[in-house]
A and B are shown apart, each in its own frame.
Chain A
Amino acid sequence: MSEGALPKDDAVLRVDDLQKSFGGLAATDHATFAVERGTITGLIGPNGAGKSTLFNLISGFYEPDGGTVEVNGTDVTGMEPYQVAEHGLIRTFQTPRKLEGMTVREAMLVGPRNQPGESFLRLFASPGSVGESESANLADAERILEEFEIDHLAAQPATDISGGQMKLVELARAMLAEPEVLLLDEPVAGVNPTLAKKLKSQIRRLNEQGTTFLLIEHDMEFVMDLADPIVVLDQGHVLTEGTPDGVRGDDRVIDAYLGGGA
Chain B
Amino acid sequence: MSALTDPKGAIAELTRPEGWVLGVSVAFLLFLLAALLTGALGPTYFLFLVGLAGMYALLSFGLNAQWGFTGLINFSVAAFFGIGAYGSALMTASGSPIAGGFNPLVGLAVALVVALALALLIGIPTLRLRADYLAIASLGLAEVMRLIVLNERWLTNGSAGVRGIPGFFKGWPVLSTFPEAMPGLRLEIVPGSPIFLEASFWQALLNVLLVLAFAGGTYLVLRRAHRSPWGRVLRTIRSDEDLARALGKNTYSFKMQSFVLGSLIMALAGVFYTHLNLYVGPGDLDPITTFYAWVAVILGGSGSNRGALFGGVVIVTIREGTRFLNDVALPIDPAPLRLLLIGVVIVAVMRYRPQGILPPQRELIWPSAVDGGGAPETPDSGVRERKGGGGDE
Minimum Cβ distance to chain A for residue B374 (Å): 11
In the assembled complex, which residues on chain A have CB atoms less than 8 Å from the CB atom of B3? Answer: none
Given known pairs A103-B386, A123-B379, A134-B368, the reply for A117 and B230 (CB within 8 Å) is yes
**Quick check: is B353 within 8 A (CB to CB) of the other chain?**
no
Minimum Cβ distance to chain A for residue B127 (Å): 13
Determine the distance from Cα of A90 to Cα of B235 in the docked complex, in whole angstroms: 20
**Quick check: is A211 within 8 A (CB to CB) of the other chain?**
no
In the assembled complex, which residues on chain B have CB atoms less than 8 Å from the CB atom of A220? Answer: none
Residue in chain A with minimal CB distance to B372: A135
- Report yes or no: B363 in contact with A155, Cβ–Cβ below 8 A: yes
Minimum Cβ distance to chain B for residue A209 (Å): 20
Interface residues of B in 290-323 (CB under 8 A from A): 303
Minimum Cβ distance to chain A for residue B77 (Å): 21
In the assembled complex, which residues on chain B have CB atoms less than 8 Å from the CB atom of A131? Answer: 366, 368-369, 379
In the assembled complex, which residues on chain A have CB atoms less than 8 Å from the CB atom of B252? Answer: 80
In the assembled complex, which residues on chain A have CB atoms less than 8 Å from the CB atom of B246? Answer: 59, 61, 81, 85, 90-93
In the assembled complex, which residues on chain A have CB atoms less than 8 Å from the CB atom of B238? Answer: 100
**Quick check: is B244 within 8 A (CB to CB) of the other chain?**
yes
Given known pairs A103-B389, A131-B366, the reply for A124 and B247 (CB within 8 Å) is no
Given known pairs A101-B235, A117-B228, the reply for A111 and B366 (CB within 8 Å) is no
- Report yes or no: B249 in contact with A82, Cβ–Cβ below 8 A: yes
> Which of B228, B242, B248, B391 is within 8 Å of A123, CB to CB?
B228
In the assembled complex, which residues on chain A have CB atoms less than 8 Å from the CB atom of B391? Answer: 157, 160
- Report yes or no: A105 in contact with B369, Cβ–Cβ below 8 A: no
- Report yes or no: B247 in contact with A177, Cβ–Cβ below 8 A: yes
Given known pairs A98-B240, A103-B363, A103-B389, the reply for A177 and B228 (CB within 8 Å) is no
- Report yes or no: A101 in contact with B360, Cβ–Cβ below 8 A: yes
- Report yes or no: A99 in contact with B388, Cβ–Cβ below 8 A: no
Interface residues of B in 351-380 (CB under 8 A from A): 359-360, 363-366, 368-370, 373, 378-379
Minimum Cβ distance to chain A for residue B298 (Å): 15
**Quick check: is A106 within 8 A (CB to CB) of the other chain?**
yes
Size bin of chain B's contact surface: 35 or more
Determine the distance from Cα of A115 to Cα of B369 in the docked complex, in whole angstroms: 14
Interface residues of A in 18-49 (CB under 8 A from B): none
**Quick check: is A118 within 8 A (CB to CB) of the other chain?**
yes
**Quick check: is A109 within 8 A (CB to CB) of the other chain?**
yes
In the assembled complex, which residues on chain B have CB atoms less than 8 Å from the CB atom of A156? Answer: 388-389
Determine the distance from Cα of A118 to Cα of B248 in the docked complex, in whole angstroms: 12
Residue in chain A with minimal CB distance to B378: A127
Question: 1/0 per position for A155-186, CB-CB distance to B under 8 A?
Answer: 11100100000000000011001000000000
Residue in chain A with minimal CB distance to B240: A97
In the assembled complex, which residues on chain B have CB atoms less than 8 Å from the CB atom of A147? Answer: none
Name, among B224, B242, B248, B250, the residue most crowded by chain A CB atoms within 10 Å (CB to CB): B248
- Report yes or no: A105 in contact with B365, Cβ–Cβ below 8 A: yes
**Quick check: is A6 within 8 A (CB to CB) of the other chain?**
no
- Report yes or no: B379 in contact with A102, Cβ–Cβ below 8 A: no
Given known pairs A115-B229, A157-B389, the reply for A102 and B235 (CB within 8 Å) is yes
Size bin of chain A's contact surface: 35 or more
**Quick check: is B245 within 8 A (CB to CB) of the other chain?**
yes
Residue in chain B with minimal CB distance to A170: B243
**Quick check: is B122 within 8 A (CB to CB) of the other chain?**
no
Minimum Cβ distance to chain A for residue B74 (Å): 18
- Report yes or no: B242 in contact with A138, Cβ–Cβ below 8 A: no
In the assembled complex, which residues on chain A have CB atoms less than 8 Å from the CB atom of B242? Answer: 61, 81, 93, 97
**Quick check: is B339 within 8 A (CB to CB) of the other chain?**
no
**Quick check: is B225 within 8 A (CB to CB) of the other chain?**
yes
**Quick check: is B76 within 8 A (CB to CB) of the other chain?**
no
**Quick check: is B233 within 8 A (CB to CB) of the other chain?**
yes
**Quick check: is B236 within 8 A (CB to CB) of the other chain?**
yes
Given known pairs A97-B242, A155-B388, A156-B388, the reply for A85 and B247 (CB within 8 Å) is yes
**Quick check: is B186 within 8 A (CB to CB) of the other chain?**
no
Determine the distance from Cα of A177 to Cα of B245 in the docked complex, in whole angstroms: 12
In the assembled complex, which residues on chain B have CB atoms less than 8 Å from the CB atom of A206? Answer: none
Name, among B369, B370, B389, the residue most crowded by chain A CB atoms within 10 Å (CB to CB): B369
Determine the distance from Cα of A101 to Cα of B355 in the docked complex, in whole angstroms: 10
**Quick check: is B387 within 8 A (CB to CB) of the other chain?**
yes
**Quick check: is B60 within 8 A (CB to CB) of the other chain?**
no
Determine the distance from Cα of A61 to Cα of B242 in the docked complex, in whole angstroms: 8
Q: Can you give 26 A-B contacts (C-beta < 8 A)?
A: A59-B246, A61-B242, A61-B246, A81-B245, A82-B248, A82-B251, A99-B240, A102-B235, A103-B363, A103-B386, A106-B232, A106-B364, A106-B365, A110-B236, A118-B249, A120-B225, A123-B224, A127-B368, A131-B368, A131-B369, A134-B369, A135-B368, A138-B369, A156-B388, A157-B389, A177-B248
**Given A135-B373, A155-B363, 5 other A-B residues pairs in contact with their CB atoms under 8 A:** A60-B245, A103-B363, A114-B248, A117-B229, A137-B369
